[in-house]
Amino acid sequence: MTSYLEHKNQHLSRSTGDIAPPLRTLVIYYSRTGTTAKLAEALVEALEAELAEIRCDLYRPGIFRYLRAGYDSVRIKLPPIRFPPMVPRDYDLVLIGGPVWTSYPALPLRSFLAHPPGLPPRIGLFLTYGGHSDPVVAFETMAASLSQPVTERLAVKAQHVVDGSYVKAARAFAEALTREYRDGFKV
Ligand SMILES: Cc1cc2nc3c(=O)[nH]c(=O)nc-3n(C[C@H](O)[C@H](O)[C@H](O)COP(=O)(O)O)c2cc1C
């Protein structure tokens, strides 16, 4: 038998009074230069989640790759990606995130969303962005690719990853998600 202290993720369900099993979360992300990776890792830590990286070699750091990313993004030229052999539908919750490119989700993220693996009913989205455009269009684009309704969204400016305040935002997001799970994920 496990104690509450052993599983800080385990909660009393308000609706049934039963002990809810720990929330099983998978955090899926793409990151070109490491900013979104840090946010993804903070979410993993806060939710005791597992991590799955979408990989794409085309836009690895460098000025020419940056320019190509922008050029391809405007033309919506979806690149090949790699995804680890994980089964997202086996989780209670999947969080999907990446950077904003030319106001839209980064292309590797769009490749993933164009042919997503089976996903559970509960999806959350997160984005990092430079701040010269509003992330709302990118969120709407991601949500439109999914059959599940998406209510949970977290956007963090790259400068807040640099100054460290993203950790607080990630924890608050994780706490809200855990609370919703404990209450039966009712919207
Ligand atoms: C090709 C490209 C286009 C971008 N376009 C935008 C944009 O339209 N709006 C914005 O706020 N930031 C934009 N950014 C900035 C990134 O969203 C931001 O730096 C992000 O945090 C990088 O995340 P990463 O390190 O995980 O790749 C762009 C970055 C790249 C590489």
Query: For residues 86, 88, 91 and 95, what is the CA-based torsion angle, rounded to 10 degrees?
Result: 110
Give the mean pLDDT of 159-169.
98
- Ligand 1 geometric centre to CA of 101 (Å): 5
Does residue 83 have a pLDDT over 90? yes
Per-residue pLDDT at 10: 47
Residue with CA at minimum distance from ligand 1 atom 4: 101
Report the C-alpha gap between 40 and 97 in whole angstroms. 8
The reported pTM is: 0.91
Considering only CA atoms, which of 52, 76, 56, 54 is closest in space to residue 65? 56
Per-residue pLDDT at 24: 96
Does residue 16 have a pLDDT over 90? no
Q: What is the mean pLDDT of the chain?
A: 90
Give per-residue pLDDT as tens, 111-137: 999 999 999 999 999 999 999 989 999
Give per-residue pLDDT as tens, 39-79: 999 999 999 999 999 999 999 889 999 999 999 999 999 99
- Ligand 1 geometric centre to CA of 96 (Å): 16
Instruction: Name the amino acid, one letter, at 39.
Output: L
Does residue 15 have a pLDDT over 60? no
The CATH number given to 11-182 is 3.40.50.360
- Ligand 1 geometric centre to CA of 100 (Å): 5
Mention every residue, 6+ apart, whose C-beta is less than 8 A from residue 35: 99, 128, 158, 161
Per-residue pLDDT at 142: 97
Pocket of ligand 1 (CB under 6 A): 31-37, 66, 69-70, 73, 99-103, 128-133, 158
- Ligand 1 geometric centre to CA of 152 (Å): 21
Q: 151 vs 80, which has greater pLDDT?
A: 80
Atom of ligand 1 nearest to the CA of 37: 26
Give the mean pLDDT of 8-19.
51
Strands, E assignment, the chain: 11-12, 19-20, 25-29, 50-53, 93-101, 104-105, 123-129, 150-157
Atom of ligand 1 nearest to the CA of 30: 26
Does residue 13 have a pLDDT over 90? no
- Ligand 1 geometric centre to CA of 34 (Å): 11
Does residue 7 have a pLDDT over 80? no
Per-residue pLDDT at 184: 84
